[in-house]
Amino acid sequence: MGDLRNKFAKIERAEADRAAMDSFLRCGGWKPKPPEPRQEALFCECGRDYYETTIVVHQEDRWRRPRYFCARCFPPHLEESWYGSPMCNLYSVTKSQQAIRDLVKAMRDLTGNMPSLPAIFPNGRAPVVRVAPDGVRELTMMRWGFPPPSIPGNKPRNPYLTNVRNTDSRYWRTYLKNTANRCLVPVTSFAEPDNNQGPRSIWTWFAQDESRPLMFFAGIWREWEGDRGTKTVPDVGTHTVFSFLTTDASPDVAPIHPDATPVLLLDEAAREQWMNAPMEEALLLQKPPPAGALRIVAAGEKQDAVTGSR
């Protein structure tokens, strides 16, 4: 009889362990706390001790053991499991290319006859201000979204890395260190989904005020060779791509989207600091805009089509 009770007890423990693992797999990842007292050392794949820096645990495959990453090695395409959902991937540029050139003192314009862009989505082409290899500040078109790093045996969930949040990552620091890879991304408004109004998200647009004055995301860019088209219409070749920094949610955005806000450069001093300062000084700009800097200017549509002067 005692053996039978022990057998049933083992079955119950196994079922409890299975339920805990299922819960973990549904979660997809977590931010672990160091065990107290210290019992064993956990290491990132680069050899850094768990207690020396931040470690992230992520279960990529239900049949694999969890993998441990320090902040420097954490794959950027998994950042959502650490920081929460990223900034919504939708913004607009409804001011003219002349207005952009005048504000950032761009001496060259390669955008052609650029139309108003009331809705820019990942992998879409958008205007970006960079310093060209010949040293001239220019306005050009790039595709939105870095390619994810190539990790053998792992298929990235998101093919376009549109946001840069973990600036300790070696993947991002390659481009953050080099001022030639920094850029200014013009924006007049950006959207976040409001999930507080019921089962359907309501797209909510933020700008400085109703006139949608120009502001800029703090961006980085690179060249990349590959296919940025679709299965039916491939686009194979060399592409210039960009992404931009995000940070904690600002007081104006947090009621709608509490996880993140893009890093906004709202004046000339901030723009020049981002483009020219050493990396440590430039990254001081990775902070939320102050309260009152943004306001809701539209809601309900997946574009911010503004009529009037450009």
Contact by Cβ (8 Å): 72, 53: yes
φ and ψ at residue 77, rounded to 5 degrees = -75, -5
Residues 127 and 240 in one domain: yes
Q: Would residue 308 count as lying in a domain?
A: no
Beta strands in the chain (DSSP E): 29-30, 55-58, 67-70, 91-93, 108-109, 117-120, 125-131, 137-144, 163-164, 182-187, 189-194, 202-207, 215-227, 236-247, 261-262, 264-265, 295-299
Model confidence at 49, pLDDT cuts 50, 70, 90, reads: very low
268 and 156 part of one domain: yes
Q: Could you list the residue range(s) of the whole structural domain that residue 222 is in?
A: 82-299
Mark whether 52 and 150 lie in a shared domain.
no
Structure tokens of 109? 């314009």
- pLDDT band per the 50, 70, 90 thresholds, residue 68: low
Query: pLDDT at residue 230 above 80?
Result: no
Check which CATH number belongs to the domain holding 265 and give it.
Answer: 3.90.1680.10
Tell me, yes or no, whether 29 and 133 share the same domain.
Answer: no
Give the lowest-confidence range in 69-83, 112-126, 203-217.
69-83
State mean pLDDT over 267-272.
Answer: 97
Task: Tell me if 68 sits within 8 A of 42, measured CB to CB.
Answer: yes
Do 207 and 111 reside in the same domain of the chain? yes
Domain boundary among 76, 92, 114: 76
Q: Give the model's pLDDT for residue 231.
A: 77
Least confident of 3-17, 176-190, 230-244: 3-17
Instruction: Report residue 10's pLDDT band, with 50, 70 and 90 as the boundaries.
Output: low
- Say if residue 42 is in the same domain as residue 88: no
Say whether both 202 and 221 belong to one domain: yes
User: 141 versus 72: which is more confidently predicted?
Assistant: 141
24 three-class SS: helix
pLDDT bin (cut points 50, 70, 90) of residue 200 is confident
Q: Which amino acid is at 34?
A: P
Q: Does 142 lie in the same domain as 99? A: yes
- Residue 127 sits in the same domain as residue 59: no
Judge if 60 and 99 occupy the same domain. no
Looking at per-residue pLDDT, the higher value among 295 and 76 belongs to: 295
225: buried, middle or exposed (CB in 10 Å: 19+, 13-18, 0-12)? exposed
**Alpha-carbon torsion (295, 301, 303, 309), positive or negative:** negative
Is residue 160 located within the same domain as residue 70? no
Question: Is 219 inside any structural domain?
Answer: yes
- Phi, psi values for residue 21, rounded to 5°: -65, -40
- Would residue 198 count as lying in a domain? yes
Question: Is 62 domain-assigned?
Answer: yes
Number of domains within the chain: 2
Average pLDDT value for residue range 76-104: 73
Residues 171, 172, 175, 179: what is their CA dihedral angle, to the nearest 10 degrees? -150
- Is the pLDDT at 199 greater than 70? The verdict is no
State the pLDDT confidence band at 52, using cuts at 50, 70 and 90. very low
Got the DSSP string for 187-251?
Answer: ESEEEEEE-SSSSS-EEEEEESSTT---EEEEEEEEEEEEE-S-SSS--EEEEEEEEEEEESPPT
Alpha carbons 262 and 246: distance in angstroms, whole number: 4
Q: How far apart are CA 59 and CA 54, in angstroms?
A: 17
Domain boundary residue, one of 43, 59, 76: 76
pLDDT at 234 (0 to 100): 84
Q: How many CB atoms lie within 10 A of CB 142?
A: 22
With a threshold of 0.85, does the pTM exceed it?
Answer: no
CA torsion, ordered 46, 47, 49, 50, to nearest 10 deg = 40
Last residue of a domain, one of 43, 76, 109: 76
Give the model's confidence band at 284: pLDDT under 50 very low, under 70 low, under 90 confident, else very high: very high
Residue 267: its pLDDT value, please?
A: 96
Q: Does 6 share its domain with 125?
A: no
Of residues 202 and 103, more confidently modeled: 103
For the segment 124-158, what is each residue's pLDDT rounded down to a tens digit? 999 999 999 999 999 999 999 998 877 655 665 66
**70 closest CA partner among 45, 90, 89:** 45
Asked if the model's pLDDT at residue 95 lies above 90, the reply is: yes
Mean pLDDT score across all residues of the chain: 79
- Above 70 in pLDDT, residue 254? yes
